[in-house]
Structure 1
Amino acid sequence: MALMTWLWRAAYGVAGLASLAVGALYFLQEKLLYVPVAPGISQNYEYFPDQFHLMHEDIQLTTKDGLSLHAWLLWDPAWDKATLRNKPLILFFQANAGNLSHRLPFFRGVISKLGCVILAPSYRGYGPNPGSPTEWGLKMDAEAAINYALSRKDLRSEQLVVMGRSLGGAVAIHIAAQHQDKVKALIVENTFTSVEDMVPQVLPFLGALIGKGGWCNFLVRNKWLNDVEIKKLQMPILMLSSSDDEMVPRSQMETLYRITSQNNRIFVDLVNAHHMDAYDVCPLIYWPALQRFLDENVD
């Protein structure tokens, strides 16, 4: 009898904890999913392009819901206007935690090693920007960014390449699917299949409730259905996947590759690299793969 009582109490306890976790996921999912400020890092920009010997233009993007968001246009100081017009233009969507200033070492590599111009928008709620991040909001931010990129006739906007890392890959897949006639090629790095697929990875005790076939999937408002959107794409796609990604299971990048209908897609294995450090850990694989992809797909 005492054992049965203990088992019932344990069951109630587990059910109570699961209910609390599901409730937190529903009501706090934006806080859990989007991390504008990583622990120990300021929300404000900590570094600036001139510290990395980069020229830049500060840009304000206006979203459909009236927010004014900061972006950087970045290039090599040795390039004149004519040179800028002939350089590949990459619209880059950043990963989740932190702000644009933490991506400057990577931007310097793209510019110095690949000879590209970068337009890097900051999401709502990130860095100096107003607003709070949601899937709906970030998609509007991306729309404002691509519209601005396409409006710059002094740049190579007719050969636009879209790139995203992690969460930024989800943003990039979405905006490329919306503008297939305007995007020349897509680069995706360490991106997940969907938020529903990621919940069991981050919160394993919710795996029975949320995930493939989970009966609580309706609670996930920020879905980011990359495994659905990527099937729409007809452009060349480069997929960069770190073998030791500690955040996104490698299998999810493999799934995105497998389900993509486009034949002109490339999967690059970044050996011993983690979620955010592939360009630094695997420079002899990472940068040549990007260069070949750009050479083959940008006129």
Structure 2
Amino acid sequence: MALSYRVVSLLKLLTSRALCACRLLLLPLLLVACAHGGAAALVLSLVSLAAVLHKAQDLLLYFPEQPASSRLYVALPTGVPFESVSIRTRDGVRLSALFLPGPGPGPPSATLLYFHGNAGNLGHRLPNALLMALNLKVSVLLLDYRGYGRSEGTPGEAGLYADAAAALAYARGRPDVDSSRIIAFGRSLGGAVAVHLASQHPGCLAALLLENTFTSIPNMASALCPGLPLGRLPRFCFRNIFSSADTIGRCSEPTLFVSGEADTLVPPAMMRRLWELSPARLKRLATFTDGTHNGTWQCRGYFMALRTFLDEAVGPGTTASPEATGISNSGHTVV
């Protein structure tokens, strides 16, 4: 197992170095091809250009610096107990996270691992995370991926998967966390991270909550650029795949799919497709008529839907707080 991990890591390193070399040689190769011609120079130029475009895909997916100063300032909770924690991944990256303990005394409550979307930092999710802790009576571990907020490193698909695994290991090692009642929540990109985590750690999660996430990055590329044949490209053309449609079949945990029908970024049909592909014996699809991509949690009935599902999946008593006030009206259905 250790040997195979080292081989894969070495292959990834060699591939990365080769792509870097291609990017650095792009301009000289283009000049040689233009000045002297030659099939070899032209082919190498095309390969280098492909390497540049391949690397540029990260710029279209990860936005750790939006809004401005997101890498410099991370908001912290006020008026509530919290713990700033540092989590070390298997590959040595230090991640920044917040632990919000569940309300009230007694035995450890369920713990929710919160995986956010592709922009900003964990501080931008605090209002939502605090309401989850209050309404669902859970502790919340809110993580910034590598390259986000005050976490080290650079974001990438394999890296985000490693970050999620490190967060799970950290939560399971805390004495105030019941390791049999850990829930993974993911919104948008975080949903793909949560699905992969569940697929790689069977039996370690009590439930899975997915909100406005996608089936895969290639499918998203086709949806966002319908005039281009991106869906027909082979997968090696994509630097990031995040194919939840492939991995959801290995997730048997009770799963709630939360879909905002007014989501203009991720087509709601993708959430329905993931719900259909899920093999979980207990699975629910909660749809919110006015739910937007990042604002579905503000719809009336949102926390009730999560609370009802978790009572069924994790057991009664986990969630027993009244619905928060000040939430907008929105019709919703659960199937």
Question: What TM-score do the two structures reach when normalised by structure 2?
Answer: 0.76
Task: Answer whether contact 2:74 2:122 (CA < 8 A) is retained.
Answer: no
Matches within 5 A, 1:242-281: 242-280=260-298
1:68 aligns with 2:84: no
Structure 2 regions of 5+ residues with no counterpart?
1-46, 316-335
Q: 1:70 to 1:40 in 2, by over 3 A?
A: closer
Secondary structure of the corresponding residue to residue 169 of structure 1: helix
Question: Is this contact kept in 2: 1:248–1:275, CA < 8 A?
Answer: yes
Question: Is 1:28 the counterpart of 2:28 in the alignment?
Answer: no
In structure 2, the residue matched to 1:172 is 194
> C-alpha displacement at 1:160, in angstroms?
0.8
Distance 1:40 1:172 in 2: 27
| Offset of residue 100 of structure 1 | 0.3
In structure 2, the residue corresponding to 1:130 is in which secondary structure? coil
| Aligned-residue identity in percent | 36
2:120 to 79, 93, 98: 98
Aligned to 2:318: none
CA–CA separation in structure 2 for the residues paired with 1:42 and 1:100: 9
Contact (CA 8 Å) 1:25, 1:32: kept in 2 or not? no
SS in 2 for 1:27: helix
Cα distance in 2 for residues equivalent to 1:45 and 1:108: 19
Tell me which of 175, 181, 184 is aligned to 1:153. Answer: 175
The amino acid across from 1:26 in the alignment is: H
Rounded to whole Å, the distance in 2 between the matches of 1:68 and 1:217 is: 30
The C-alpha deviation readout for 1:106-133, integer Å capped at 9, x for no partner, is: 0111112111100111100000111110
Quick one: structure 1 residues 229 and 266, their matched pair in 2 at CA, closer, same or farther if it must change by over 3 Å? same
Structure 1 partner of 2:239: 221
Look up the equivalent residue of 1:224 and give its one-letter code.
F
> 1:231 maps to which residue?
249
| 1:45–1:100 contact (8 Å) kept in structure 2 | no
Give the Cα–Cα distance (whole angstroms) in 1 for the partners of residues 286 and 273 of structure 2: 14
8 Å CA contact 2:74, 2:149 repeated in 1:
no
Per-residue deviation, 1:24: 6.0
CA contact (8 A) 2:114 2:141 kept: yes
Partner in structure 2 of residue 292 of structure 1: 308
CA distance in 2, matches of 1:217, 1:178: 21
CA RMSD, Structure 1 to Structure 2 (Å): 2.0
1:110-125 pair list within 5 angstroms: 110-125=132-147
For the residue of structure 2 that corresponds to 1:55, the secondary structure is coil
The residue type equivalent to 2:76 in the other structure is: F
Cα distance change, pair 257–22 in 1 and its aligned pair in 2 (3 A): farther
1:191 maps to which of 204, 213, 232:
213
- Secondary structure at 2:191's aligned position in 1? helix
CA contact (8 A) 1:54 1:75 kept: no
Supply the AA of the counterpart residue of 1:74: L
Judge which range, 185-194 or 288-297, deviates more. Answer: 288-297
CA distance in 2, matches of 1:34, 1:182: 28
1:44 equivalent to 2:66? Answer no
Asked if the contact 1:241/1:250 (under 8 Å) is kept, the reply is: yes
SS at match of 1:66: coil
Moved >4 Å (runs of 4+): 21-25
Q: Is contact 1:164-1:170 (8 Å) kept?
A: yes
Equivalent pair of 2:64/2:148 in contact (CA under 8 Å)? yes
Q: 1:247 to 1:34 in 2, by over 3 A?
A: same
Residue type at the aligned position of 2:313: N
Q: Distance in 1 between matches of 2:179 and 2:125?
A: 22
- 1:201 is displaced (CA, Å) by 2.3
Secondary structure at 1:86 match in 2: coil
Letter in 2 for 1:287: F
Label 1:65 to 1:149 Cα distance change in 2 as closer, same or farther (>3 A): same
Question: For 1:13-40, what per-residue CA distance to the aligned partner results, in whole angstroms no more than 9, with x for missing partners?
Answer: xxxxxx9x97764221111111112144
Residue matched to 2:329: none
Structure 1 counterpart of 2:85: 59
TM-score of the superposition, structure 1-length normalised?
Answer: 0.85
The CA deviation at 1:237 is: 0.3
Per-residue deviation, 1:205: 3.8
